[in-house]
Each structure stands twice: as C-alpha cells, then as structure tokens.
A and B are shown apart, each in its own frame.
Chain A
Amino acid sequence: MRIKTILYAEDEFTNRKIMEYQCERFGVECVLEADGLEALDRCRTGKYDLVVLDQYMPGLNGDEVAKELKAIRPDLPLVAITSDDGCVARLMESGFDAVYVKPLRSDDYKELLETYAK
C-alpha cells in the first residue's frame, strides 16, 4: 500500500516537529514548509494526500492558501490548525474540510491523519 504524504505548513518550529513525529507514528510521510507562499508553490507541483495549514504564516496566511488551492485542486483535502478559534468560520468559508484548534492531542493527530489523509 502506498504511504500517504501530507504537506504541513507552519512557521513555528515546535509544532512542525511535533507533526513530523506524529506522522512517523502513524506511518505517514510529512513534507514541511514554514511559509504559506512556498507551501502553495509546492502544492502546485507536488502530489499530496492531505494539506495541513497553520493560519498565520509568513508569505500567505492559511485561508489565502486554501482559497488558491480549492480553485486549482478542489479534490485535495485541506485541514487548518489554528490557535485562534475566532477565525474558524472564515477558515471553513475558505475551503477547509476541518479545523483543529491548538494544542492538539494524540487522538486529534490520529483522527486528522486517518480521516483526511485517505
């Protein structure tokens, strides 16, 4: 069975590293980016089973990346991880399939990776 690959865009090191370790636990490959614009560029050319985006990033914010991606790859699952629960409605309108609020628990990572990285 092909190993799933996710792209995770997050400018904060700790969260990137935790996601990397979680992906190892659940047998998922993880590509990391720290900038929204660079994440978008990667998505245009790369093949990912799931894209997970932080909201506030250098380059482009997560909702801006999501809008662009939904226009070019409407089938691509998108999940947001944010510490700002006040922007959830905006994130859902941008095209995200789900939003998780930080900090995530072990079960949240498991659910996210097993549900959305199909």
Chain B
Amino acid sequence: MMWRFCEEISPIFTYVNGIGAPPALSFVKMFLLSEFKKKYDTDIASLPTAPSVEIRLQPGIRNLRDGDERVLLELLVLAAEKLCRTRERYVLHLGGTDEELLAAFRRKGADEGDFAEIPPDLRGKIEALGGRTAGGEMRLPMPAAVDSPAVDLKSVVDRTGLSDDQVRSILKEFIADGKRNLAAVSGGGPLREPAERIRAAHSLKGSGKSMCAPELASAAAEVEEDLLNQADTEESISRLEGVWERVEKWYTDGAE
C-alpha cells in the first residue's frame, strides 16, 4: 500500500476506481465513518478543517482483502490526529504505482508540487504498527489477535459463506499440503531449485490467507521475500517452522 499527501484535490471520501465501484468500497466507507465517530465522538463533516480520505483501488482490482479495513482505520486515526490542525488531506492508494497515482491527480489539476514525503513523525507511527518502509512504499503486516487459534475456521466460514462442514473438509489436505510445502521451503527431501522453494513459500502464504491463519501467511510471506531477495532465510524459515508447528498442534488437538 502506498500513500501520499495531497492538498485540496478531492471532496470527502471520493472513490476513484478504474471499473465501477466494488461493493467493498461502500462497506469500507461506512466502516470508516462509524469508527471515526466512535473514536472521536463526532462526525467527520463537522470538523473545522474537513478531512478527506480518498481510497483508490488500482484499475482492475475488484475487491479489498481481509485486514485492509483495520489498516485503513489505523491510518485514518493517524490522519485524524493531524487533520484537526492542518488542511492536509490523506490519500490511501491500495496497490498501483506512483506514476498511476500522479496521473490520476494530474487529471484533477494537481502537480508534483502538491505532494510531500510522509513526515517523519507519521512514518515513525506507521513503523510502530509493525510496518516496514522501502522508499515510498509501506507494507503493513496482517494483524494476528492475541490467543487466537492458529487457524480461525469461523472466520473462513464467515468470509467465504461456506458451511462449517465444507471448510473442515478442506483441513486434512490443507495440513498435508502445508507439510509438503514447508519441506520444500526448508530444503528437506530432494534438492530443491530456488524457484520451487519460492513457489512453496508462496503457496503457504496463499493457503494461510485462505484459511484465516494470519501468522502462517505472514511468516510464509517473509520467507518468500527473503528467497526472492536472495537474503539469509535462516531466521524467517525458523519462524515459519515454529508457526507451522502451532498449526499442526491446533489440528491434532481437534481443530477448534
């Protein structure tokens, strides 16, 4: 996710999307409005300096992902703390490139002079949330609730609309697949090509997300990134193995 500051460009909660407005955006808007009111006991529109949050999906993307709402809320809270004192507006851009964002704002009359680097104090707050920064891009990790199950089957049911039985029917193969992928990542078994290890980490990340196992997804993502960057993987693989151990224990303990 990348974001920039932009002055006087758009009205409150403007949505820009390449192809229509996905239902998820309406949900995000309502969520942000209600969370802001709960947090500050006031409506955004009544603030003396009207804040603006433009949420733009990259053209082509049709949906938001789990965890995006929390990230947006965290950023909105940070924005609100600043916005009461300044006329700055915050743009949250989910996906995409700087060039696309600049092009979108040029069409609305902005130029590069309207953009500023993220101020150090806000950058620090983002990093305190656990995000890592690389250039202008910040990636925030998916949050893992304290004492949450290793795999949150209820969330899978809630998110997918499938039945509990259907979701549980996937578990056995999810575990078997996970073991195979972990072996490939760790380098156990036959000698593995780097591409194979990367694909295995990528699969673990994907299955972790699909099965609401955020720690697994996060740990696998770190390994994938280290492999792609040809960095040392000892620490990240060790963490992944620890997380997987917890997943297997949860499964053998009855998967509740």
Contact = CB atoms under 8 A, between A and B. Distances in A.
A17 B207 contact: no
B142 to A, nearest CB: 10
Interface of B: 19, 22-24, 58-66, 94-97, 100, 159-162, 166, 169-170, 173-174, 177, 199, 202-203, 205-207, 209-212
Interface stretch (A41-49, A67-75, A82-90): A82-90
Contact of B60 (A99, A105, A107): A99
Interface of A: 11-15, 17-18, 21-22, 25, 56, 58, 83, 85-86, 88-89, 91-92, 96, 98-109, 111-112
Nearest to A105: B159
Contacts of B166: 21
Nearest to B170: A17
Given A22-B160, A83-B206, A105-B160, A13 B173 contact: yes
A14 to B, nearest CB: 4
Contacts of B209: 83, 102-103
Contact of B203 (A11, A86, A98): A11
A17 B169 CA distance: 9
12 contacts: A15-B207, A18-B210, A21-B160, A22-B162, A83-B209, A85-B94, A88-B58, A101-B61, A102-B209, A108-B24, A108-B63, A111-B23
Given A13-B173, A107-B23, A86 B95 contact: yes
A112 B22 CA distance: 11
A84 B65 CA distance: 11
A105 B212 CA distance: 12
A18 B170 contact: yes
A66 to B, nearest CB: 12
A108 B61 CA distance: 11
Nearest to B203: A12
B202 A106 contact: no
A25 B163 CA distance: 11
A15 B62 contact: no
Contacts of B174: 13-14
A107 to B, nearest CB: 6
Nearest to A55: B202
A11 B206 CA distance: 10
Nearest to A99: B60
Given A98-B19, A105-B159, A12 B61 contact: no
A111 B205 CA distance: 24
A14 B159 contact: no
Given A13-B207, A103-B209, A107-B23, A88 B63 contact: no
A88 B61 contact: yes
A4 B208 CA distance: 30
